[in-house]
Amino acid sequence: MQLEIISRYPTAEPKPVPLLFVHGSFTGAGVWDQHFLPYFAAQGYTAHALSLRGHGASAGHERLLWWSLADYVDDLAHAIRTLERPPVLIGHSLGGMVVQKYLESRRVPAVVLMASAPPQGLLPSYWGMAASNPLLLHRIALFQGLGPRFATLQLVRQALFSEDTPDAWLQRYFHLLQRESQRVCLDLLGLDPLRLERDHGIPMLVMAAGRDAFFSTGLMQDMARHYRADLAIFSELAHAMMLEMNWQQAADYLLHWLDARFARRAKAGFHHPAMV
């Protein structure tokens, strides 16, 4: 399986661990290359982003609807084997669950879960959205069935971005949208439950978005407690944290969290984001 890996390299001596970013549903590695990969490369990290099979420029689009969560975990394992050193894994949304599944049997230096699917899968989010915003849930289901041709700027804003995001900003990322596997949706609803131990011993950061339409801050707080992980809540960001107009809030926090563990950089002048 040919997999797309986008890589950005620092111009000076790289920091001791590389980063590997894993995207969420309906998109590919390109979401990370808009801001995060160049940002972290400029800060001295070798930064990679993987497109799971059937996504981005990876092979497998013809069978996209049937790929499983286990297939995506295999893709992540393959990508890690191509790197010179074990990376810090940063997973967003569905990518966060792929990372958690990978950790069932393997270890990495550290893990970051950004607006990630929680250990329980999608059921808590599904029922929460069904109660609070059934119209959005219906529109997302139509997008899943019909693909990007059904997408509108309004739907993208409601699902992924803050309400005040201008159309011009949204249009920059419209081309990154695509369909997602139907099988993976079933896996996340319980067909392939997570079996990761709570006390896995790997440093972990949970990053929550205060305006997230999918995963509430309450769910993210529960996940952080479950794993005894560090928690940061960004009250002004929505689900697509890496593409929001204020994306650098999340990037700056992640940089300092990483440096505190791997580069020992002093945190002078660093301010925590507003907490919900």
For residue 120, give the 3-state DSSP assignment.
coil
* Phi, psi angles (nearest 5°) of residue 4: -80, 125
pLDDT at 140: 72
How would you classify the pairing of strands 204-209 and 47-50? unpaired
C-alpha torsion 266→269→274→275, nearest 10: 30
Q: Indicate the domain borders of the chain.
A: 5-263
Fold of 5-263: Rossmann fold (3.40.50)
CA distance linking residue 21 with residue 36, whole number of Å:
9
CB 22 within 8 A of CB 95: yes
pLDDT at 45: 97
pLDDT at 133: 77
- Determine how many CB atoms are found less than 10 A away from the CB of residue 203: 17
Residues written for the chain = 276
Name the strands in the sheet holding 19-22, side by side, starting at the edge strand that comes first in the sequence: 5-8, 47-50, 19-22, 88-92, 111-114, 204-209, 230-234
Enumerate residue ranges in the chain where pLDDT < 70: 130, 137-138, 141-149, 264-276
pLDDT at 31: 98
CA distance linking residue 252 with residue 213, whole number of Å:
23
pLDDT at 122: 87
**Single-letter code of the amino acid located at 66:** W
CB 244 within 8 A of CB 137: no
CB 38 within 8 A of CB 63: no
**Single-letter code of the amino acid located at 142:** L
For residue 208, give the 3-state DSSP assignment.
strand
Maximum distance among all Cα pairs of the chain, rounded to whole angstroms: 51
pLDDT at 136: 72
Token reading at 120: 């329980």
pLDDT at 84: 92
Burial pattern 2-39, b for ≥16 Cβ within 10 A else e, equals ebbbbbbeeeeeebebbbbbbbbbbbbbbbbbebbbeb
pLDDT at 271: 46
